Amino acid sequence: MHTVISSPTRTVTIGSDQPFCIIGERINPTGRKKFQEQLRAGDLSMIAVDVEQQVAGGADVLDVNMGVPLTDEAELMRKAVVMVQSITDLPLCLDSSVIDALEAGLQVYQGKALVNSITAEDERADAVLPLVKRYGAAIIALTNDEFGIPMDPQERLAMCEKLMSLCERHGVPLEDLVIDPLCMTVGADSEAGKVLFETIHLIKEKHGLNMTIGASNISFGLPNRHAANAAFLPMAMQAGLTSAVMDARTEGIVTAVRAADLMLGNDAWGANWIARFRAKQAAEAAANA
Amino acid sequence: MHTVISSPTRTVTIGSDQPFCIIGERINPTGRKKFQEQLRAGDLSMIAVDVEQQVAGGADVLDVNMGVPLTDEAELMRKAVVMVQSITDLPLCLDSSVIDALEAGLQVYQGKALVNSITAEDERADAVLPLVKRYGAAIIALTNDEFGIPMDPQERLAMCEKLMSLCERHGVPLEDLVIDPLCMTVGADSEAGKVLFETIHLIKEKHGLNMTIGASNISFGLPNRHAANAAFLPMAMQAGLTSAVMDARTEGIVTAVRAADLMLGNDAWGANWIARFRAKQAAEAAANA
């Protein structure tokens, strides 16, 4: 199964026979007070810095979230999408809890966007999926509903199947559905990783759908989070995960993902791995020159 | 399935509900000319250095190989086993292609040893398994035979099943059998990782046996091998690998293994992970004091 998203000049294919799709998560004011104040004052300049860093770190797609309280989020999203597309050709993932903001972003987005997100709750799905259909986008869909997040992999699989039927109801093809099997925190529940890996494996084996997660959740509250995340993502990839929303600035984690591509046979002859190593050597040589 | 090995004062349990078993591979003169010369001259002092480094790095078991050409390997193995057991309480893995050397090691070993190794070739298995049975040891068994290494996971599974019947024939219980599903090099064959992960998954699902590999093979010939291996081992663990023969001196790889324990629910509340982080902080503080 291939999920294809695009900008006017670049196409990204998500699939189990493709290099892992890194969705850079940084263009998001959540928890960033200064960025929020700038956006509220109409200053979008920080976005350019974030874009540059995510692109430099190796993001394949950029998540754009403009969730600033007490603003016209639809207007901010519209401006941000136009601005980001003016400085990078990476495809975008339009991320909002506000349906008007998703629609505003889709109206101006050039190409085939990814939309973040729906859950298995009918009300939101029935509002968002018609937009996804109308604009020919793809959609991230979380395996929870209004009653919570099941901790049994079979129940999460059932949630995935409900999401599939919601897509069918709205005429959104399954290749445009990217399931988020929900990454919880191992610090709070030692079984969280196992449950996730088993859910990913079940969804892959039974339906072959593409999947993405918010990867950094796994290590919340633990020390040495980068090392924990760098081990975790290759494990999830081995189980069948094909994408993650993550901060591309952390080199060790991106390197782990590219190593896992190699181990899964998605980097023939290690060409990307070797090119990555040479680029790093060249950068170090230039820095020391 | 639990494989239990021991020294007089320490027991190591290998199993999918246990922290991963790191078998330190360094006590081995292969490719080390100076060490070979020392051993040929009867100087075993280098062994103490190797033991200390593998223990400090976090090995759970130590592999002891005394394969020096043109020596009495049985006599060397006997001396090495006695010496290593005098300086560490970690259980040992007795590693030789020479059956007399394995028997010499087993004669003096105190505890329940792991023996490295047999393949699915009858002749060697029929010589080694009676020793394993007589001394109550456990055995590493490779999924190849005199006709080669199959690159199809189902054929490697069949090889595993032949090894199970060889053990049955010699009265060696399956909990004392540790399968080596064979780690080939992704630089030579892009499918090598996928084939291995699928073989591990099949053996785990069908027979629940413990498995170990020579892990560093995976990245032979590639740049940045430590980073490649640090991503690879968590993936193999996610598939069901429960042990590896590896060099415990590389901190990044051992850290990746301990992170994967946490992700698999084999480090409740992250207690080991947090303790490891604190010990590192304390060591750094002491170094800077």
Q: What is the mean pLDDT of residues A220-233?
A: 96
CB-CB under 8 Å, B191 with A265: yes
Cβ–Cβ below 8 Å for B265 and A193: yes
Q: So what's the pLDDT on residue A17?
A: 98
Q: Cβ of A254 under 8 Å from any chain B Cβ?
A: no
pLDDT at position A289 over 90: no
* Among candidate residues B215, B209, B224, B178, the one with its CA nearest the CA of residue B196: B215
Q: List the CATH number of the domain containing A218.
A: 3.20.20.20
Q: How many domains does chain A have?
A: 1
**Rounded percentage of chain A residues whose pLDDT exceeds 70:** 100
Give the one of B187, B190, B223 whose C-beta lies nearest to A277's C-beta: B223
Minimal Cα–Cα distance from B277 to chain A, Å?
Answer: 7
Which residues from chain B sit within 8 angstroms of residue A270, using beta carbons?
186-187, 190, 222
pLDDT of amino acid A251: 95
Q: Which residue from A128, A53, A133, A136 is spatially nearest to A95, judged by alpha carbons?
A: A128
Mean pLDDT of chain A: 96
ipTM of the complex as predicted: 0.95
Q: Are strands B114-118 and A61-65 parallel, antiparallel or unpaired?
A: unpaired
A186–B contact, CB cutoff 8 A: yes
- Listed as own residue / partner, the contacts of B28-32 with beta carbons closer than 8 Å and 24 or more positions apart are B28/B63, B28/B64, B28/B65, B28/B67, B28/B95, B29/B65, B29/B66, B29/B67, B29/B68, B30/B65, B30/B67
Tell whether A232 is within 8 A of chain B (Cβ): yes
Q: Is the pLDDT of residue A88 over 90?
A: yes
Cβ A237–B237 below 8 Å, yes or no?
A: no
B70–chain A Cβ distance below 8 A for any pair: no
- The arithmetic mean of pLDDT across residues A159-183, rounded, is 98
Kindly list the residues from chain A whose CB atom is less than 8 angstroms away from the CB atom of residue B259: 227-228, 230-232
pLDDT at A269 (0 to 100): 87
Which run of H or E residues covers position A5? strand A3-6
CB atoms A267 and B190 under 8 Å: yes
pLDDT digits (tens, 9 = 90+) for A152-170: 999 999 999 999 999 999 9
Band of residue A129 on the pLDDT scale cut at 50, 70, 90:
very high
Interface test with A, best of B195, B217, B235, B264 (most A CBs within 10 A): B235
pLDDT digits (tens, 9 = 90+) for A200-221: 999 999 999 999 999 999 999 9
CA angle A181–A137–A49, rounded 5-degree value: 80
Under 8 Å between Cβ of A186 and B270: yes
- Cβ contact A244:A61 at 8 Å: no
pLDDT band at A105 (very low <50, low <70, confident <90, very high): very high
**Chain A within 8 Å of B277 (Cβ-Cβ)?**
yes
Inter-chain CB proximity B274 and A222 less than 8 Å: yes
Separation of alpha carbons A230 and A184, rounded Å = 16
∠ CA B162-B167-B169, rounded to 5°: 95
- Interchain contact B253–A (C-beta under 8 A): no
Would an 8 Å CB–CB cutoff place B38 in contact with chain A? no
pTM: 0.96
Q: What is the pLDDT of residue A119?
A: 97
Of A191, A264, A278, the CB nearest to B265: A191
Instruction: Please judge whether B273 and A237 are an interchain contact, meaning their C-beta atoms are less than 8 angstroms apart.
Output: no
Handedness of CA B183, B188, B189, B193 (dihedral sign): positive
Q: Chain B contact for A259, CB < 8 A?
A: yes
- Chain B residues with CB-CB distance to A269 below 8 A: 187, 190
Cα A239 to chain centroid distance, Å, stands at 17
The domain of B179 spans 3-288
For chain B, 289 residues long, the average pLDDT of each consecutive 10-residue run is 98 98 96 95 96 96 95 96 98 98 98 98 97 98 95 97 98 98 94 97 98 96 96 98 96 97 95 93 90
Provide the shortest C-alpha distance from residue A32 to chain B (in Å).
28
Contact B194 A268 (CB under 8 A): no
- The pLDDT score that the predictor gives to residue A264 is 98
Region A116-125 average pLDDT: 97
Best residue of A196, A263, A277, A278 to probe chain B, by most B CBs closer than 10 Å: A263
Q: Are A187 and B264 in contact (CB < 8 Å)? A: no
